[in-house]
Structure 1
Amino acid sequence: MTDLRRRTFLARGMAAAGAAGLTAACSQLPIGKRPPQMYTLTPKSTYPADLPEAPWQLAVERPSAPAGLSSARIAVAREPLTLDYYAGVAWVDDAPNMVQRLLIESFENSNRIIGVGRDGVSFRSDFTLKVELREFQAEYFDGAEIPTINVRVNVKMVQMPQRTITASQGFETKRPAPSNRMSDIVHTFDAALGIVLRDVVVWTLRLS
């Protein structure tokens, strides 16, 4: 076999092998599957002018939550005893992590606290804020066609290092969405969570 014929034979063989590999790889890809549309929410940045300054450092724990809310999927309830999820959409992080991050940023945006960070980060906190995420879903109760967004948390101030609970408070906001469009639902989540974030920050700083 001449060098030219040998090179042509090898080239055809490599092309055939590559095509076979591409076909096998394509056959493993899910057909009709698209990644979910990702959504995020925003921290609070506006507060009363008379908000006091806190001369202490605060650690914010990752919120505890029921298993159904410890997810990046956007929860929806059509009856009080059921929980489901919107299809094809998700938060950028699971709900407890997202709420923790936004709460820390909201404290930072107040410019009224010496230091705030995640629990477990290497800084010495004077207090720890324990957070429980109890409601974080869109509700279509009583046959409603447009949802009401329900956000409810309970928080406890724990003095360190004694780990003594010094105060506890619940915060809840229910806000109807303007329509059943996903963009309107997410904006309503943002507004409802924003009210709760602001109230938690104000309540916490006024304990000083």
Structure 2
Amino acid sequence: MVALSTILLLTGCAGLGSLTKAVKQPNDLYVLTPKSTFSQSLPRIDQQVVVEELTATAAVDTDRIAVQPTPLQVQYLPQARWVDRAPLIVQALLIESFENSGKVAAVGRSTVGLRADYQIVTELREFQAHVVPGSGQPPTLQVDVRMNIKIIDTYEDHIIGSRSFQEYQISASDKAPELAAAFDEALGDAMRDAVEWSIRTMHSHASRNPRPSLN
């Protein structure tokens, strides 16, 4: 497994050539997992929910594992990739996490034609690792996951709630397996908070605005 320190030692044209060569080698693929444990006090909602595909910048909207050695520089871990583009992975995991809560009548993607009471619109604002300044060699990496979630009432077509969720996790090493585990931990914590807040927000809104459900 190639460590991130390989990237950080690359400089100039030779460095770019070496990085390109490394990326062309066979990649190890990494998956992330949904949340399955939630607060027992969560209310149940009878409404149907659609989770839209997440939006993200080009640096994050990729299947490559992003690392920022400096605040103004983005590189990618060689010989390691996610199994899909990060926004698609997080969309699927959010849907599964909502399902795992057992508190939502129905949840899915808009592509399946589900007529939703509420839409979850999410921007994936941070999904990369940062090199901790002054951490030496090999560098210490901190994963940063940040999502902004908006909940839309599809009847009235307006936003009923908006909130950001951010989590950090220090990676055990600069190698891909440990870095992927840190991403999984940070994303899991952010998704748990996002799902719980979303369910409570939708439940509160539905209680104040009773209307026939679409299910």
When you count strand as a share of all residues, which structure comes out higher?
A: 2
Q: SS of 1:87's equivalent?
A: strand
RMSD after superposition = 1.5
1:45-84 correspondence runs (5 A): 45-84=36-75
Instruction: Return the alpha-carbon distance in structure 2 between the equivalents of residues 96 and 33 of structure 1.
Output: 23
2:123 to 128, 132, 142: 132
Instruction: Return the alpha-carbon distance in structure 2 between the equivalents of residues 203 and 49 of structure 1.
Output: 13
Match of 1:110 in 2: 101
Report if the CA contact (8 A) 1:151-1:174 is conserved. Answer: yes
User: How far did 1:93 drift?
Assistant: 0.3
Q: SS of 1:98's equivalent?
A: helix
1:143-171 Cα shifts (integer Å, max 9, x gaps): 43110000000000000033200100000
Q: Which runs of 5+ in 2 are unaligned?
A: 1-20, 204-215
Match of 1:154 in 2: 148
Instruction: Return the alpha-carbon distance in structure 2 between the equivalents of residues 37 and 182 of structure 1.
Output: 9
Instruction: Return the alpha-carbon distance in structure 2 between the equivalents of residues 179 and 68 of structure 1.
Output: 23
Q: Does 2:173 align with 1:179?
A: yes
Q: How many residues align?
A: 178
Match of 2:25 in 1: 34
Instruction: Return the alpha-carbon distance in structure 2 between the equivalents of residues 205 and 94 of structure 1.
Output: 26
Q: SS of 1:45's equivalent?
A: coil
| Larger Rg, first or second structure (1 or 2) | 1
1:195 to 165, 189, 192: 189
Q: Does 2:162 align with 1:165?
A: no
1:82-139 Cα shifts (integer Å, max 9, x gaps): 1110011100000000000000000000010000001232111000000000000010
When normalised by structure 2's length, the TM-score is: 0.80
Higher relative contact order (CA 8 A, sep 6+): 2
Q: Specify whether residues 45 and 101 from structure 1 end up closer, same or farther in structure 2 by C-alpha distance, changes over 3 A only.
A: same
Q: SS of 1:173's equivalent?
A: strand
Instruction: Return the alpha-carbon distance in structure 2 between the equivalents of residues 126 and 50 of structure 1.
Output: 22
When normalised by structure 1's length, the TM-score is: 0.82
Report if the CA contact (8 A) 2:132-2:140 is conserved. Answer: no
